[in-house]
């Protein structure tokens, strides 16, 4: 089965083929670094991390660019309120962002450019737009002429007149048309750079076009981001990029769905903004990552505590299966994996692959992963298991988790001494030595873990040592 993905531009699933065989050039809009990221930002980071991982699993070289907006009105406002410099604000929240993404198991991108380090390419792109007559200067500001780009609105599927009627357009007498947007903003002091039009700083939209083309060329294979970026940000990126180059800016557009809290969109006015680091502190990064992946990336996702707690339990089931295999390995008899087991493992991976090839359907991929969990426990409980059988299942876990990133994320499984006690307790239970099993349960709890007996085998959960 070929990999297909949903292209926002065409509104349908399409077979994926990069422009250059074997190489995928992907750009995903990063954060404006003026605050800690919320769970909506975290969802986008995890969604495109898994997409990148799957492309690599399928054998592509992926050049992945994920930017930082480190100069913006919001950052300037925070700097004025706190008395810090714009640079200090940006550095602090870049460090926090990278800490949060590490907790979520997100791999480092190929390039993570900052706007302030790419003023030259931004100025060059604006100059090209002015020379082509699709941008104009007004008292040190530079604007893009939307009406000079006839295809404006093709991503959001709205003509200019309808976009104008439905958009909250900033009133600005300097603009030739209300939908024209800023490429360069007149500015002074430590938030300004020299340009042919005077001191200033880039507009929000131009930065992504300039940085993506700087690293990936005039045409990207995949451009991604949240659904909230379709208009105006991605629409404006298309307009300014294609007006400058005359070629298609991005061949596939991918957008992840919104995250709501109690069915309300997150907003400061409602007081319902949930930060990634707060959820990670309470439930762990892998639980939040599983929560994201248990819903298809394009679908809306409702955040609630019960779902996160359930996700944490699911991750513990994965840990338990791997732990059972690791402890079964030393007592296994020499020998290869049985042919029937190898066939079952191939069938599980085939289901996993079919799910991921169908527009990165992670919920179905997780279903395959838990089929692997059941297989793991069956092998671990088999008194006649071979070493080859255990190693084959462990290898399949590692292979599929390279895509999902659930076992290899920041948190560790229980230490070896605790896992040894779990294995000893399980042996006591099978021998119906329940007094010994209860004593071992107490010892396990004293070390900070509770053991739960399930049809699939014992499952551990962190608890307070007290």
For residue 3, which of 75, 51, 71 has the smallest C-alpha distance?
51
DSSP 219: S
- Annotated binding residue at 13? no
Helix residue spans in 132-227 (DSSP H): 160-166, 204-216
Q: Which stretch of DSSP H or E encloses residue 325?
A: helix 305-328
Tokens of 400: 């599929």
List, for residues 272-288, the tens digit of each pLDDT value: 899 999 999 999 999 99
List, for residues 71-93, the tens digit of each pLDDT value: 999 999 999 999 999 999 999 99
378 HSE (CA, 13 A, CB side): 10
Q: Alpha-carbon torsion 261, 265, 268, 270, what sign?
A: negative
List, in order, residues 6 or more apart from 136 with CB less than 8 Å away. 130, 142, 143, 145, 176
Check pLDDT > 90 for residue 180. Answer: yes
> How many residues are recorded in the chain?
466
pTM of the model: 0.87
**Helix, strand or coil for residue 358?**
strand
Tokens of 43: 């969802």
CB-based contact 168:159 (threshold 8 Å): no
Tokens of 292: 């994201």
- DSSP for 192-204, please give it: -B--TT-SEEE-H
Residue 28: CB atoms within 10 Å: 26
Check pLDDT > 50 for residue 412. Answer: no
Q: Higher model confidence: residue 274 or residue 419?
A: 274
CB-based contact 290:363 (threshold 8 Å): no
Q: Identify the pLDDT of residue 466.
A: 46
- Annotated binding residue at 411? no
Structural domains in the chain, sorted by start? 19-293 (3.40.50.620), 317-406 (1.20.120.640), 414-465 (no CATH)
Check pLDDT > 50 for residue 409. Answer: no
- Annotated binding residue at 154? no
- Annotated binding residue at 185? no
Beta strands in 349-465 (DSSP E): 449-454, 457-462
Q: Identify the pLDDT of residue 421.
A: 82
For residue 126, which of 250, 244, 245 has the smallest C-alpha distance?
244
- Annotated binding residue at 237? yes
* Average confidence score pLDDT of the chain: 92
* Burial classification of residue 189, based on how many CB atoms lie within 10 Å of its CB (0-12 exposed, 13-18 middle, 19 or more buried): exposed
Check pLDDT > 60 for residue 398. Answer: yes
Of the spans 154-163, 223-232, 328-337, which averages the highest pLDDT?
223-232
């Amino acid at each position: 089965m070929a990999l297909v993905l949903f292209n926002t531009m065409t509104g349908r699933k399409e077979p994926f083929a990069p422009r250059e065989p074997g190489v995928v050039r992907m750009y995903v809009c990063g954060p404006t670094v003026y605050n800690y990221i919320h769970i909506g930002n975290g969802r986008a980071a995890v969604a495109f991390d898994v997409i990148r991982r799957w492309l690599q699993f399928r054998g592509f070289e992926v050049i992945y660019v994920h930017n930082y907006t480190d100069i913006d009105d919001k950052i300037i406002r925070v700097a004025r309120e706190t008395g810090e410099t714009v640079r200090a604000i940006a550095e602090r929240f870049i460090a926090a962002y990278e800490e949060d993404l590490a907790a979520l198991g997100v791999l480092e991108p190929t390039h993570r450019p900052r706007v302030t380090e790419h003023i030259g390419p931004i100025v060059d792109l604006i100059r090209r737009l002015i020379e082509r007559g699709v941008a104009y200067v007004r008292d040190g500001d530079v604007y893009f002429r939307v009406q000079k780009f006839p295809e404006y609105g093709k991503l959001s599927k709205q003509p200019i007149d309808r976009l104008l009627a439905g958009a909250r357009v900033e009133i600005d007498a300097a603009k030739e048309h209300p939908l024209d947007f800023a490429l360069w903003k007149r500015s002074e002091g430590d938030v300004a750079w020299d340009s042919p039009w005077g001191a200033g700083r880039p507009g929000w939209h131009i930065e992504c076009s300039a940085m993506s083309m700087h690293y990936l060329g005039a045409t990207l294979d995949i451009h991604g981001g949240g659904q909230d970026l379709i208009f105006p940000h991605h629409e404006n990126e298309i307009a300014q990029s294609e007006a400058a180059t005359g070629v298609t800016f991005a061949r596939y557009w991918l957008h992840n769905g919104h995250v709501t809290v109690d069915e309300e969109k997150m907003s400061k006015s409602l007081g319902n903004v949930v930060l990634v680091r707060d959820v990670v502190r309470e439930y762990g990064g892998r639980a939040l990552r599983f929560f994201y992946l248990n819903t298809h990336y394009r679908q809306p996702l409702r955040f609630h505590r019960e779902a996160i707690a359930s996700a944490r339990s699911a991750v513990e089931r994965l840990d338990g299966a791997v732990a059972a295999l690791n402890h079964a390995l030393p007592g296994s008899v020499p020998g290869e994996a049985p042919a029937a087991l190898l066939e079952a493992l191939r069938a599980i991976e085939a289901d996993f692959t079919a799910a991921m090839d169908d527009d990165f359907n992670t919920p179905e991929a997780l279903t395959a992963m838990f089929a692997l969990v059941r297989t793991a426990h069956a092998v671990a409980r088999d008194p006649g298991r071979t070493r080859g059988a255990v190693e084959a299942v462990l290898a399949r876990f590692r292979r599929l988790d390279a895509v999902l990133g659930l076992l290899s994320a920041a948190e560790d499984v229980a230490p070896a001494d605790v896992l040894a006690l779990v294995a000893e307790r399980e042996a006591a239970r099978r021998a119906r030595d329940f007094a010994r099993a209860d004593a071992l349960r107490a010892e396990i709890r004293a070390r900070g873990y509770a053991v739960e007996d399930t049809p699939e085998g014992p499952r551990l959960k962190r608890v307070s040592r007290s």
